[in-house]
Structure 1
Amino acid sequence: MPFRVTVIGTGYLGATHAACMAEIGHEVLGVDVDAERVAALQAGRAPFYEPGLEALLAKHVADGRLRFTTSYEEAAAFGDVHFSCVGTPQVENGYAADVRYVDAVIEQLAPHLKRPCLVVGKSTVPVGTASRLADRLTELAPVGELAELAWNPEFLREGFAIEDTLSPDRLVFGVRSDASRATLEELYRPVTDKGTPVVVTDFPTAELVKTSANAFLATKISFINAMAEVCEAGGADVGKLAEALSHDERIGGRFLRPGVGFGGGCLPKDIRAFMARAGELGVDQALTFLREVDSINMRRRTRTVELAREQCDGQFLGRRIAVLGAAFKPDSDDVRDSPALNVAGRIQLMGGDVTVYDPKAMDNARKSFPTLGYALSPEDALQGAHLVLLLTEWEEFRNLNPERLRDVVAVPRVVDARGALDPAQWRRAGWTYRALGRP
């Protein structure tokens, strides 16, 4: 049975969720306070890059199944199910999550809820938030307890967000009533009919699933990067080490890729918020290991700069540095806490003449780091370079021709901080090839 669904907050999570809810058959109204963003979405334009999203938006705006508004009153009158998809950034001058936008959704939506409905939180929040919001929802909604709350955390990977929404590896329903559970089960039936498992639990567990998952993934990434430090000191090859470990089914190969470390708008701030919340609950010692996870991750950026300086004979002054990559990961234009731009910015501050190229993130990179140089193609970025740094593993960069590029640069030297290139191929073409954690 199709539902009338609202999606409040049309950032990365919300715009994707709205388009995918329309794709599985529901009538969807997206809500955002940014009128300019609403206008773009209503025209079928995505406000950020995500493979396949713009086509999906345009399809369902055109067929009338998806539209957008700035009105909470309109949303309350329209929706049977209201998804809250706003962000929870890191607070200034601290580690904790800033939940004011999550609170604002309840404060602005609830007073207009005059008939039974389900409000569903999808944001990553500190454990205990959902229970507090449920009480506030009941207090503010004219319909009272007939406006229920549920928690349904998201597990999206940038670059695969549509796939992860339409064919997720699991769905988690944090509920307080059989009615809420039944509503979510019916709403997601087109997804679960394909075999997606469902875990039904209470609010605190649902909140902890997302933060625990991100903490585990961050730990796995930092583990292999810690091994890269040991490999460099001992003359071993972390790439081969990771390959060998990946064949152990207890460990697996996913997220076991050494490099310059993780960034983006989720993992860094989520593990810090998790530590902060553990401290508030009096169990901070349980998560002290995450401080080292965070520290290892940040050291990879420093080590990348050091390795680049070694390749430039100890100094960046007077050297042209080509940086391939600005987004924090491929198939995204997201530059939040991007290791690539962090490294590029540090090198520029140390005197390097830095030129950046990225297939999709150039506009966002310019806004965040306006003093860096930017090129229109990899070849333009490499022109006359004394060193090439690969910092985001786009497929376009994996397919570069090292023989042709050798004649473009001033000195054929490359630091592959993502382990994305074929060392033998680049060395055969006359390049000095270096990578983190490899001889």
Structure 2
Amino acid sequence: MRISVIGCGYLGTVHAAAMASLGHDVVGIDVDRRKIAELAEGRAPFYEADLPRLLDEETRSGRLRFTTDFAAATGAAVHFICVGTPQRAGDDAADMAFVNAAVDALVPHLSPGDVVAGKSTVPVGTVAALRERIDATGATLVWNPEFLREGRAVQDTVAPDRLVVGIPDGADGERAGDRLREVYAQARARGGPVRGTPGATTELVKIAANAFLATKISFINAMSEIAEVAGADVAELADAIGCDPRIGRSFLNAGIGFGGGCLPKDIRAFAARAEELGTGHSTRFLREVDAINLRRRDHTADLVADALGDVAGRRVTVLGAAFKPNSDDVRDSPALDIAARLRSLGALVTVTDPEAIGNARRVHPELSYEPHLETALLGAHAVLVATEWEQYRHLDPERARELASGRVIVDGRNCLDADAWYAAGWDCIRMGRPALRHPAEERVLVGAGTL
């Protein structure tokens, strides 16, 4: 089937490549000429596992091409809208400018019987607001939200755990539903069920899911704050309550909090939209979810400073810049935020990351970056694990001790073998868990201070 994908950012590029890999004839369209030139050569403009291979194979096969010309959408049976909905400048609401611009540019190229499928995360009410423009062309508008996990986005597209589609009532809606079932035939065979829901419900599904996940993360981080004061272990707490199938263990890992381009802005947009609808009291709790999450960043910087006694002039190595492993995405990254806060306290901060240094440097050019892990560790008085890349999880504490000057490691993701680090002579500071510290007389002297 011929498919157009409007918007070739993270979502659109993955979706276009995955649809081509399922055998469809796909054109990706975006206004960014440099991005399109890179994609046309089969190169991914961001890091995502398995995407470079897919782009290379599908552009070579001819099933996938990219252009800035919206006229290339003419003749496609299904048009996916995959543009971003960032937080609007000046308030918490979602900025719909890209969605509206995409629809305006696409409308002249639609034909009766076409299906326009929105995948962007949008405020409830968006479908109703857009429908008149789409209906006037004889095309049918449906909403089909994405549920991608960065680092697993290709897999989540070709073998999704569920497909949610909001289709209108009537014959046109039935035809649109049949068309999408055809598009996703292979994905449905590999993945989970298809759920057809009313339009407003479909708009709520993605943002409600993100709100729930954010709430679960902030809940365990709030418990972490209590555990630290009470002398409890938040990981054991999470294991115990996670045994209850009504709660579950996933997303109950205490740490420095969530970031990225979805959860933070989505919960703010959700709360803002609820207020516009006169139901702001229903999402008021999301303000506290957001506050708990942001508080983790100050708390982590304080843990590093407290462990060193005086952070000013001390060398701190931050392991990780991306908001999560297996990604180069630094949007609202807790790791970079904490690094900047430590720098503001006078620390000499070095950030390292396997993939995200280029993006990080554009956001925080004032920080120092080192791509090589061992070089980044040289002379460090303290080390902070801020992104749980596998190479950081399995870092040899003995080798790290040879490179560093100090013996303080702050495990911001609770992902290390703390006993192994302690046995190697490190003071291991954990999130919501008892710290493992050596007696003062056993600590290594560094300069005039005692670590």
TM over 0.5: yes
What code does the residue aligned with 2:132 have?
D
Match of 1:97 in 2: 94
User: Is the counterpart of residue 378 in structure 1 residue 373 in structure 2?
Assistant: yes
Q: What is the TM-score normalised by the length of structure 2?
A: 0.94
Q: What is the TM-score normalised by the length of structure 1?
A: 0.97
- What is the alpha-carbon distance in structure 1 between the residues aligned to residue 355 and residue 211 of structure 2? 28
Match of 2:253 in 1: 257
The equivalent position to 1:317 in structure 2, one of 312, 317, 323, is 312
SS of equivalent residue, structure 1 residue 83: strand
SS of equivalent residue, structure 2 residue 413: coil
Match of 1:23 in 2: 21
Deviations 1:186-208 (A, max 9, x none): 11111112352011011100000
The equivalent position to 1:66 in structure 2, one of 53, 64, 67, is 64
What code does the residue aligned with 1:368 have?
V
The equivalent position to 1:247 in structure 2, one of 243, 246, 257, is 243
What code does the residue aligned with 1:359 have?
P
Is 245-254 or 294-303 further displaced after alignment? 245-254
Kindly report which structure 2 residues correspond to 1:29-428, keeping only aligned pairs within 5 A, or say none: 29-75=27-73, 77-139=74-136, 144=137, 146-176=138-168, 177-313=173-309, 315-428=310-423
Residue 195 to residue 40, structure 1, CA distance change in 2 (3 Å): closer
Residue 195 to residue 92, structure 1, CA distance change in 2 (3 Å): closer
- What is the alpha-carbon distance in structure 2 between the residues aligned to residue 31 and residue 149 of structure 1? 19
Residue 405 to residue 357, structure 1, CA distance change in 2 (3 Å): same
Q: CA deviation at 1:138?
A: 2.5
Q: CA deviation at 1:109?
A: 0.8
% identical equivalent positions: 54
- What is the alpha-carbon distance in structure 1 between the residues aligned to residue 253 and residue 141 of structure 2? 39
Alpha carbons 2:30, 2:67 under 8 Å: kept: yes
- What is the alpha-carbon distance in structure 2 between the residues aligned to residue 39 and residue 273 of structure 1? 33
Deviations 1:5-55 (A, max 9, x none): 001101000000000001111000000101111111010000000000010
- What is the alpha-carbon distance in structure 2 between the residues aligned to residue 267 and residue 62 of structure 1? 35
Structure 1 runs (4+) deviating above 3 angstroms are none
SS of equivalent residue, structure 1 residue 407: helix
**Over aligned residues, Cα RMSD in angstroms?**
0.9
Q: CA deviation at 1:115?
A: 4.3
Alpha carbons 1:6, 1:78 under 8 Å: kept: no
Q: CA deviation at 1:350?
A: 1.1
Deviations 1:207-228 (A, max 9, x none): 0000000000000000000000
Match of 1:432 in 2: 427
What code does the residue aligned with 1:131 have?
A
Is 373-382 or 156-165 further displaced after alignment? 373-382
Residue-pair matches, total: 430
- What is the alpha-carbon distance in structure 2 between the residues aligned to residue 209 and residue 410 of structure 1? 50
Deviations 1:215-264 (A, max 9, x none): 00000000000000010110001111112222221111111110000000
Unmatched 5+ stretches in structure 1? none
SS of equivalent residue, structure 1 residue 336: coil
SS of equivalent residue, structure 1 residue 301: helix
- What is the alpha-carbon distance in structure 1 between the residues aligned to residue 306 and residue 346 of structure 2? 14
- What is the alpha-carbon distance in structure 2 between the residues aligned to residue 180 and residue 24 of structure 1? 19
What code does the residue aligned with 1:203 have?
G
Residue 195 to residue 9, structure 1, CA distance change in 2 (3 Å): closer
Match of 2:444 in 1: none
Q: CA deviation at 1:281?
A: 0.5
